[in-house]
Amino acid sequence: MTQATDVEPKEKQQKPIVPYLRLPQTPSDRPYLWGSRCRSCGAAYLGPRLACAKCFAVDDLEEIRFSDQGILRTFSIVHQSLPGVEVPFVAAIIDLPEGAAVRANLGGIEPDPDKLVPLLGTKVEMYAEKARVDKEGNDVIVYKYRPIKG
Amino acid sequence: MKPARDVYIVGVGMVKYGRYPEKTVIDLATEAVVTALKDANMTMKDIQSVASGNISSPVGQAIMRSVGQTGVPVVNVANACATGSTACREAYFAVASGAFDVAMGIGSEQMGKAGLLGAGRLMAATDPAYIPEGVLGSQMMPPVFSQWGVDHMRKYGTTFEDFARVAYKNHKNSVHNPYAQYQQEMSLEEIMGARMVSWPNTLYMCCPTGDGAGAIIYASGDKARQYGSKAIKAAASILTSDPWTETGNAILDINECTRLAAREAWETAGIGPEEMDVVELHDCFATAEMVHYENLGLAPDGEGPRYLREGRFDIGGKVAVNASGGLLSRGHPLGATGACGIAEILWQLRGQSGGRQQPGAKAGLAHVIGLTSACTINVMVA
């Protein structure tokens, strides 16, 4: 018998597109971004860190969970991109209350400057959705932000 | 870093930016070097140290095989879009340190029709499903520089039309620059109505890719006098990297590295932004020029759009910004750009800029941003 037939068919999984997006398996929890906070100066980073680029402390960082909500700092409506990238899309930068920022697409709104400009400086919330399917058939999950209504 | 002694620019050379499929990048660099040598009344025998900037390949020694194999040290430099200006800074410090009396910085690049930059790096993934571009915002150059413009919009209410006015001015200036890749004046309507690349930057608010080369010769005071050249003092040559910011996780910095470089430049040169008559700044996109007026201290924070509307940055205004047409018209062959900005300022301070001459120009600077992030500022005084 060949080894290949011994292998159980893999179950299709959900996989985060980046390591700092965590997808909890517990139904009561929701996807979130995690990172590191410097115990010396409070600077926050996405993902794991060995050193603080702000105060230069080393081995003094703790894991943190970032808030779901942030502030829309800036965006661009991208009309021209790489082959295979769907355009237009809204490429946004979100400020998080922990003192870091993230790069993400803005969803839940038309890519129209007249609608987007008034949202600058307002609250947005994170959500996760399937973006693509990988070579092994797993769903690739991304995080996005959308305006908070009201 | 303080120079140990004064440094002068004694010769510059530059080729017309464009697309030269029939030439090699060595051909272009050779033309720039030979022109700079003639301008300085020198030969390669006078050049004691060389720094060559080129992002695509380390061509410094190949350029020497074309212009003169003197056996002197040649260092190859790459620093994103600040590559050419970083090479010039190496040449500047070769002289400023006292190690050499004459040194040359070269910038060259052959891109052809490269299209949107950064594609190769962003597409590098073992499984394309994990490429973040387009599903996790963007790291491409047009959106990043557009985002910095919209950040200015959020803070100060800057408009799409304000940004378009930058391109209007620079395209208008380019008509007088025979070295520019495009010499075409355009109306505000044409600029705003052009194909949108990444809002708020339309096609005519984005710099073109292309081919180009420039060379700058630096010398000590003694050497400058000996060759009787039209020497201009290189009053400061600053290079910074991006300081820590809360947004650094998400978007490469262009503001704080520029502000830091500007502070160091004024301290080293002993003059300030109010004394600048001509400035070549890094307008890879129209939105970038707007934020750099304020980053360089040419306008108070938030006043850039008003100063631009009032014509203060026009040729003949308080300080002519991108009289050459800037990257928007002159073109942006990555490694060449930094050297050519320095050449433009030098010509201005010598009064050799023809139709794009800022009347009575006595002091100026060339500013470049490389997105990794790097910022160079070269201050020159007549």
Per-residue pLDDT tens digits for A57-90: 998 999 999 999 999 999 999 999 998 899 999 9
Nearest CA in chain B to A87: B134
CB nearest A79 (choices: B147, B198, B244): B198
Closest alpha carbon to B110 in B60, B55, B52: B55
CB pair distance less than 8 Å for B137 and A91: yes
Query: How many CB atoms within 10 Å of residue A1?
Result: 5
Residues in a beta bridge with B135:
none
Could you say which of B136, B140, B142 has the minimum Cβ distance to residue A17? B136
Q: Hey, CA dihedral for B150, B151, B152, B157, is it positive or negative?
A: positive
A121/B154 CB distance under 8 A: yes
Amino acid sitting at position B158? T
For residue B16, the domain's CATH number is 3.40.47.10
B chain contacts of residue A93, beta-carbon cutoff 8 Å: 137, 147, 151, 247, 250-251
* B342 closest CA partner among B222, B233, B225: B233
Question: What's the pLDDT score for residue A2?
Answer: 46
The answer to whether residue B269 scores a pLDDT higher than 60 is yes
Q: Please give the share of chain B, as a percent, with pLDDT higher than 90.
A: 92
Per-residue pLDDT at B339 exceeds 60: yes
pLDDT digits (tens, 9 = 90+) for B121-150: 566 667 889 999 999 999 999 999 999 999
Q: What is the ipTM of this complex?
A: 0.94
Tell me, yes or no, whether B175 lies in a domain. Answer: no
Question: Is the confidence at residue A138, as pLDDT, over 80?
Answer: yes
Residue B115 has a pLDDT of 65
Grade residue B2 by pLDDT with cuts at 50, 70 and 90: confident
Q: Is residue B228 part of a domain?
A: yes
Q: Which residue type does B14 have? A: M
Domain limits, chain A? 12-147
Residue A33 pLDDT > 60, yes or no? Answer: yes
For residue A139, CA distances in Å to A38, A70, A109 come to 33, 26, 24
The token duo for B266 is: 């004024």
Annotated catalytic residue B81? yes
Mean pLDDT of A21-48: 95
CA separation, residue B16 to residues B56, B59, B100, B165, B180 (Å): 20, 20, 30, 25, 6
What count of other Cβ atoms lies within 10 Å of the Cβ of residue A25? 6
Q: Domain total for chain B?
A: 1
Tell me the residues of B at the A interface, defined by beta carbons under 8 Å apart.
116, 119, 122-123, 127-130, 132-140, 142-144, 146-148, 150-151, 153-154, 160, 195-201, 244, 246-251
| The pLDDT of residue B114 is above 80 | no
- The pLDDT value given to residue B123: 62
d(CA A133, CA A128): 15
pLDDT of residue B231: 80
Res B200 pLDDT > 80: yes
CA distance B85 to B279: 15
Q: What angle do CA B320, B321, B324 make, to 5 degrees?
A: 95
Report the pLDDT averaged over residues B87-115.
93
Q: Chain A residues with CB inside 8 Å of B246's CB?
A: 95, 99-101
Residue B118: predicted pLDDT: 57
User: Is B117 a residue whose pLDDT tops 80?
Assistant: no
Query: Can you give the pLDDT at residue A1?
Result: 44
pLDDT band at B163, cuts 50/70/90?
Answer: very high
Chains A, B: CB pairs < 8 Å: 134
Residue B78 lies in a domain: yes
What's the confidence (pLDDT) of residue B112? 76
Residue B313 CA to residue B197 CA, distance in Å, equals 26
Q: What is the mean pLDDT of chain B?
A: 95
**B120 has a pLDDT exceeding 80:** no
Choose the closest CB to B133 out of A53, A74, A82: A82
Does residue B172 form part of some domain? Answer: no
Angle at B205 between CA B203 and CA B206, to 5 degrees: 70
B139 within domain boundaries? no
B319: containing domain = 7-112+208-381
